[in-house]
């Protein structure tokens, strides 16, 4: 007859008879991996929670910076080309 061992008996180390059932021990190990009741990884969880937000913010910053730089450079080049065309046609510089 197979014995059913409780999680508490396995954790305490009580062993009577033929020993603990390996399937029950695996179940206890899975429960241990799922939640162990501690708070020692709190800051690690906070870091992993905030990391995606920081990453998206950095990408957004560089994309927006690139757009603004491109616009500024394009305006300067366009103004220079317009000034050259006005000078070639003999028109006064734009105020």
pLDDT tens per residue, range 67-90 = 999 999 999 999 999 999 999 999
Residue 45 and residue 29 share a domain: no
**Quick one: what percent of the chain has pLDDT higher than 70?**
59
Residue 33 and residue 1 share a domain: yes
Residue 45 and residue 14 share a domain: no
The count of C-alpha atoms lying within 13 angstroms of the C-alpha of 29, restricted to the half-sphere facing its C-beta, is: 6
The model's pLDDT over 55-69, given as tens digits with 9 standing for 90+, comes to 999 999 999 999 999
In whole angstroms, give the CA distance from residue 70 to residue 37. 53
pLDDT at 54 over 80: yes
Residue 17 and residue 63 share a domain: no
What average pLDDT does the structure give for the chain?
Answer: 77
The CA-based dihedral angle spanning residues 28, 33, 34, 35, taken in that order and rounded to the nearest 10 degrees = 90
What's 30's DSSP letter?
H
Structurally, how many domains does the chain consist of? Answer: 2
Residue 68 and residue 50 share a domain: yes
pLDDT at 1: 43
Residue 93 and residue 75 share a domain: yes
Give the range of the structural domain holding residue 30, as residue numbers without chain letter. 1-37
pLDDT at 36 over 90: no
């Amino acid at each position: 007859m197979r014995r059913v061992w409780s999680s508490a008996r396995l954790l305490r180390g009580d062993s009577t008879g033929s020993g603990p059932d390996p399937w029950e021990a695996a179940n206890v190990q899975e429960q241990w991996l799922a939640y162990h009741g501690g708070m020692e990884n709190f800051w690690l969880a906070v870091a992993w929670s905030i990391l995606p937000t920081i990453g998206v913010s950095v990408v957004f910053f560089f994309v927006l910076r690139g757009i603004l730089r491109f616009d500024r450079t394009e305006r300067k080049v366009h103004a220079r080309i317009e000034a050259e065309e006005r000078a070639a046609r003999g028109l006064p510089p734009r105020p």
